């Protein structure tokens, strides 16, 4: 990438050296430790140096110790977020994460409205972060749920981890509160059902070991006529006698459906209506 910084944003040869090295290493988002390494300086000096970069609009601070280079073409703009997916990946230190729930639904075009929050499942607990108006929520997730993850090109040069189509549905059925509710998950399932593998949906649901997921998936697949009868039987054979709510966010009301051991606190008419809009 060609380096083009105007005079107002120039700090001298040391800044040029740092920026050139960052771009060469494809580190448009960088850490204080990168500055220390590239310039061979200690932490206090690196902190002071990056503070000058931020003050001159060469870099923007994302969080303590994490920064992003501001593209030259933005002119005098001093605050720059970049791609939210890449920022979230870097906040998670590039490992032990994948984009899930509402964010995965947006990536897979399973939503009709833009997603305002960025959701990532992470192995280590992390607090929600707000950066330059963007909100990032990290869902602490046990390692046993880290499957069905694929690579996604966030930009032409950078890949991130995201749940595949089927796993996105399963995560949504397990925790619909991070997708806008069960109805939104159902709508997303219907929108992309022709591109999904019913056998993989069932495999993933059973792999979670969560009875509520199995119940919800079986009910929705039957309602939307996804998969074959033997697929649904494979799910039914795993059920216990316990009844669970279709949407855990809503009150425990509505009819009980013995076939799937569910309390239908969202009516089938409502679920069928959302796929017609």
pLDDT digits (tens, 9 = 90+) for 65-113: 999 999 877 766 778 888 999 999 999 988 999 999 999 999 999 998 8
Question: In what helix (H) or strand (E) does residue 106 lie, and over which residues does it extend?
Answer: helix 101-107
What pLDDT was estimated at residue 157?
A: 86
Are both 169 and 151 inside the same structural domain? Answer: no
Inside any domain, residue 136: yes
What pLDDT was estimated at residue 215?
A: 98
| Dist. CA 178–CA 224, nearest whole Å | 22
Dihedral through CA 229, CA 231, CA 234, CA 238, nearest 10? Answer: -100
Inside any domain, residue 2: no
Are both 186 and 273 inside the same structural domain? Answer: yes
Nearest CA to 187 out of 87, 277, 117 is that of: 277
What pLDDT was estimated at residue 5?
A: 44
Q: What is the mean pLDDT of the chain?
A: 92
Inside any domain, residue 1: no
Give me the number of domains the chain comprises: 3
pLDDT tens by residue, 145-190: 999 999 999 988 899 999 999 999 999 999 999 999 999 999 999 9
Q: Indicate whether 4 pLDDT > 80.
A: no
| Dist. CA 203–CA 198, nearest whole Å | 9
Are both 96 and 158 inside the same structural domain? Answer: yes
Are both 189 and 262 inside the same structural domain? Answer: yes
DSSP tally for the chain: helices H, then strands E: 11, 12
Q: Indicate whether 274 pLDDT > 90.
A: no
Are both 257 and 198 inside the same structural domain? Answer: yes
Could you tell me which residues are beta bridge partners of residue 97?
Answer: 122
DSSP secondary structure letter of residue 144: G
What pLDDT was estimated at residue 152?
A: 97
Are both 154 and 174 inside the same structural domain? Answer: no
Inside any domain, residue 126: yes
- Say if residues 117 and 124 touch (Cβ distance below 8 Å): no
Q: Comparing 10-24, 55-69, 82-96, which segment has the lowest mean pLDDT?
A: 10-24
| Residue finishing a domain among 118, 146, 163 | 163
Q: Indicate whether 7 pLDDT > 50.
A: no
What pLDDT was estimated at residue 115?
A: 84
- Say if residues 219 and 262 touch (Cβ distance below 8 Å): yes
| Dist. CA 241–CA 169, nearest whole Å | 24
Inside any domain, residue 42: yes
186: helix, strand or coil: helix
76 exposure class (CB count in 10 Å sphere: 0-12, 13-18, 19+): exposed
The number of angstroms, rounded, from the C-alpha of 166 to the middle of its chain's C-alpha atoms is 15
What pLDDT was estimated at residue 116?
A: 85
Are both 226 and 252 inside the same structural domain? Answer: yes
Are both 171 and 277 inside the same structural domain? Answer: yes
Positions of E strands within the chain: 29-31, 59-63, 66-69, 97-99, 117-122, 129-131, 134-140, 149-153, 159-163, 244-245, 255-257, 262-264
Are both 234 and 190 inside the same structural domain? Answer: yes
Q: Which residues contact 132 (CB under 8 A, 6 or more apart)?
A: 60, 62, 79, 80, 81
Inside any domain, residue 171: yes
Q: How confident is the model at residue 10 (pLDDT cuts 50, 70, 90)?
A: low
Q: How confident is the model at residue 277 (pLDDT cuts 50, 70, 90)?
A: low
Percent of the chain exceeding pLDDT 70 equals 95
| Dist. CA 35–CA 175, nearest whole Å | 40
pLDDT tens by residue, 139-155: 999 999 999 999 999 98
Give pairs for 53-60: CB < 8 Å, separation 24+: 53/11, 53/15, 54/78, 56/8, 56/9, 56/10, 56/11, 57/8, 57/9, 58/5, 58/9, 58/11, 58/15, 58/19, 60/132
- Say if residues 135 and 116 touch (Cβ distance below 8 Å): yes
What pLDDT was estimated at residue 2?
A: 41
Quote the domain boundaries for residue 89: 81-163
Q: How confident is the model at residue 1 (pLDDT cuts 50, 70, 90)?
A: very low
Average pLDDT of span 38-62:
94
Inside any domain, residue 93: yes
């Amino acid at each position: 990438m060609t380096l083009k910084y105007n005079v107002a944003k120039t700090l001298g040869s040391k800044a040029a050296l740092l920026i050139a090295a960052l771009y060469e290493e494809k580190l448009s988002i960088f850490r204080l430790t990168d500055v220390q390494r590239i310039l061979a300086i200690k932490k206090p000096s690196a902190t002071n140096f990056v503070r000058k970069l931020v003050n001159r609009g060469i870099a923007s601070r994302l969080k303590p110790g994490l920064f992003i280079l501001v593209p030259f073409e933005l002119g005098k703009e001093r605050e720059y977020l970049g791609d939210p997916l890449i920022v979230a990946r870097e906040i998670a230190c590039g490992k032990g994460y994948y984009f899930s729930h509402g964010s995965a639904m947006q990536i897979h075009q399973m939503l009709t409205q833009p997603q305002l929050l960025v959701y990532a499942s992470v192995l280590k607990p992390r607090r929600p972060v707000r950066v330059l108006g963007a909100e990032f929520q990290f869902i602490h997730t046990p390692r046993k749920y880290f499957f069905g993850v694929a690579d996604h090109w966030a930009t032409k040069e950078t890949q991130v981890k995201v749940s595949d189509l089927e796993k996105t549905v399963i995560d949504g059925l397990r925790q619909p509160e991070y997708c806008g509710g069960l109805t939104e998950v159902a709508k997303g399932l219907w929108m992309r059902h022709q591109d999904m593998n019913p056998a993989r949906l069932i495999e993933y649901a059973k792999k979670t070991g969560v009875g509520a997921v199995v119940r919800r998936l079986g009910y929705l697949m039957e309602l939307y006529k996804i998969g074959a009868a033997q697929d649904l039987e494979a799910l039914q054979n795993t059920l216990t006698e316990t009844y669970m709510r279709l949407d855990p966010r809503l009150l425990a009301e509505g009819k009980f459906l013995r076939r799937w051991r569910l309390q239908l606190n969202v009516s089938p008419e409502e679920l069928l209506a959302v796929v017609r809009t």
